[in-house]
């Protein structure tokens, strides 16, 4: 997924960029409204992280321009302004969320995943891949309606794969997602976790979805139903 960071403070933008990269997101950076609009008009963007105070105008203006142009990207405002009026103005202009600086990086990722989930039709907190169903609200995995017992780390791997379905995720992304920078082991441990996870899912009857290895890059969750539907539309 490609995230647009609209932030004139390079230090903050770089810090956000590192957090996104560690979580498996691609990102681009714009310092002004003009640069942001250029990026939105010429490249696919899955979500926008937007500062309110920009050199060439108010971020709320950019929010209105994005919504007026019917661009589908969800918008998370990140601002040092904590007043209720500022939140109401931003949300009223079309923002999907409002996060106040300073913030914890895990809070940022949680907000970002939530607005992307809603934008992709996962507001019910259910994500489907083949006959696998992930219930984000209850932290449960089921296949054909039957609960699949997973360890906490196996669940976290499936969680990240489902949230980034179709995207190749590096082993480092999984390490960051699971351990959060605390006593992180060698990334090769992810190969072990994925191997055990595949066996469990296969024994539970997983169909029309699979975890593929992309050599030299990482792993990706393929949803064969969605791929077949996309091919049919293309034809």
pLDDT score at 167 = 83
pLDDT score at 123 = 47
* 139-162 as b/e: b if 16+ CB within 10 A: eebebeeeebebeebbbbbbbbbb
pLDDT score at 29 = 94
pLDDT score at 105 = 85
Beta bridge pairs of residue 221: 211
Residues of the chain with CATH 3.40.50.2300: 2-119
CA atoms within 13 A on the CB side of 190: 25
CA distance 178 to 161: 12
pLDDT score at 80 = 86
For the domain made up of 2-119, the CATH class stated in words is alpha beta
Q: Which residue matches tokens 């609200």?
A: 137
pLDDT score at 26 = 87
CA distance 212 to 227: 14
DSSP per residue over 104-150, as a string?
Answer: -HHHHHHHHHHHHHHHTT-TTSEEEETTEEEETTTTEEEETTEE---
CA distance 130 to 150: 18
Check: CB of residue 96 under 8 Å from CB of residue 75: yes
pLDDT score at 207 = 94
Residues of the chain with CATH 1.10.10.10: 127-234
Classify 27 as helix, strand or coil: strand
Q: How high is the mean pLDDT in each 10-residue block of the chain (235 residues)?
A: 91 92 88 90 86 89 82 86 86 89 86 80 70 83 93 90 85 82 84 96 94 93 76 51
pTM over 0.85: no
pLDDT score at 180 = 67
Q: Which CATH number fits domain 127-234: 3.60.21.10, 2.60.34.10, 1.10.10.10, 3.20.20.70?
A: 1.10.10.10
The neighbour count for residue 226, using CB atoms within 10 Å, is 16
């Amino acid at each position: 997924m490609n995230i647009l960071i609209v932030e004139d403070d390079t230090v903050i933008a770089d810090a956000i960029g590192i957090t996104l990269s560690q979580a498996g997101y691609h990102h681009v950076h714009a310092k002004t409204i003009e640069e942001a609009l250029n990026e939105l008009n010429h490249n696919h963007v899955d979500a926008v992280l937007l500062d309110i105070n920009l050199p060439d105008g108010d971020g709320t203006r950019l929010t209105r321009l994005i919504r007026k142009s019917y661009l589908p990207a969800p918008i998370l405002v990140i601002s040092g302004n904590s007043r209720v009026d500022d939140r109401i103005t931003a949300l009223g202009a079309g923002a999907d969320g409002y996060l106040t600086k300073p913030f914890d990086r895990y809070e940022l990722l949680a907000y970002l995943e939530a607005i992307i989930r809603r934008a992709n039709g996962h507001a019910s907190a259910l994500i489907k891949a083949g006959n696998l169903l992930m219930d984000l609200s209850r932290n449960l995995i089921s296949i054909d309606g039957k609960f699949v017992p997973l360890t906490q780390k196996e669940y976290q791997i499936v969680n990240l794969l489902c949230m980034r379905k179709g995207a190749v995720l590096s082993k480092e992304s999984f390490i960051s997602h699971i351990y959060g920078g605390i006593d992180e082991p060698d990334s090769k441990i992810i190969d072990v976790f994925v191997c055990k996870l595949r066996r469990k899912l296969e024994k539970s009857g997983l169909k029309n979805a699979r975890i593929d290895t992309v050599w030299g890059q990482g792993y990706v969750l393929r949803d064969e139903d969605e791929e077949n539907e996309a091919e049919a539309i293309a034809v």
